[in-house]
Amino acid sequence: MVDRRRIARTDAAIGGRYSLAGRRNVRGERREFACRTIDISSEAIALICPVVGPIGERVIAHFDEFGRLEGQIVRLFKNGFVMRLVLGRGEYETLSARIDWLHRHKHHNLPDDREHKRTAPKNPHSTVMLSDGTVRGCFVIDMSVSGASVSSEVTPQLGDVLAVGKIIGRVVRVFPEGFAVRFIELQDPDSLEYLLIRS
């Protein structure tokens, strides 16, 4: 049996997407949601995310840094879960090498050439209020003074006006795991996270 305490874990906030076996859209396809790693090893990943399944549920996660990873939920915590990975021998070695590389290079950041710099909030959990008054929990993927990318069980349409936290915006893009909102007004960077994130 593997001694899990000896397996190196890397603390890393890496954005990705995931799907749960029990969450399907109206066509019967798996729904995708955004997520962020808290830490990762070649045995398990701890994720913060908007939608949590029960212990034992099958998960498929995708990360640019690691590719497609599959596993099962083995532990739940507030706003997230730990998934134990199911890997073949070659996949195990490849993932171990990528984690080791990440551990050695995790402070190397590439510049963001967008007009307004995007950052990930410290606490990504907030709420979305639709124009009909419906309020649902959401996961803020990233944010800037001009807008935010959000993942939620609700899927608004292009052009819909809604509020993320206390900030009003319009949906300008919809993608498989969420949607992008452009704020009606540019926000003060010093109060952005306070207004955007609602516990």
In this prediction, residue 7 has a pLDDT band, given cuts at 50, 70 and 90, of low
> Residue 85 domain-assigned?
yes
* 87 and 130 belong to one structural domain: no
Q: Would 112 be classed as within a structural domain?
A: no
Mean pLDDT of the chain: 85
Q: What is the pLDDT of residues 69-124, one digit of tens each?
A: 999 999 999 889 999 999 887 888 888 888 777 766 554 444 444 456 788 888 89
Q: Are 96 and 141 members of one domain?
A: no
User: Which CA distances in Å does 168 have to 119, 162, 193?
Assistant: 19, 6, 14
Mean pLDDT, to the nearest integer, of 130-153? Answer: 92
Cα torsion at 84, 36, 195, 153 (round to 10°)? -70
Structural domain ending residue among the three candidates 48, 71, 105: 105
The mean per-residue pLDDT over the stretch 127-149 comes to 92
Give pLDDT, residue 143: 93
List own/partner pairs for 116-120 with CB under 8 A and 24 or more apart.
116/144, 116/145, 116/146, 116/147, 116/186, 117/144, 118/142, 118/143, 118/144, 118/149, 119/143, 119/144, 120/13, 120/15, 120/36
pLDDT in tens, 9-44: 677 788 899 999 998 888 888 999 999 998 888 899
Q: What percent of the chain has pLDDT over 70?
A: 87
In this prediction, residues 150-165 reach a mean pLDDT of 92
Whether the per-residue pLDDT at 67 is higher than 60: the answer is yes
Domain that holds residue 130: 125-196
Give the mean pLDDT of 174-194.
91
CATH number at residue 56: 2.40.10.220
pLDDT at 90: 80
Residue 165 has pLDDT above 60, yes or no: yes
Q: Rounded to an integer, what distance in angstroms lies between the CA atom of residue 110 and that of residue 57?
A: 35
Question: Model pTM greater than 0.75?
Answer: no
Residues 8 and 76 in one domain: yes
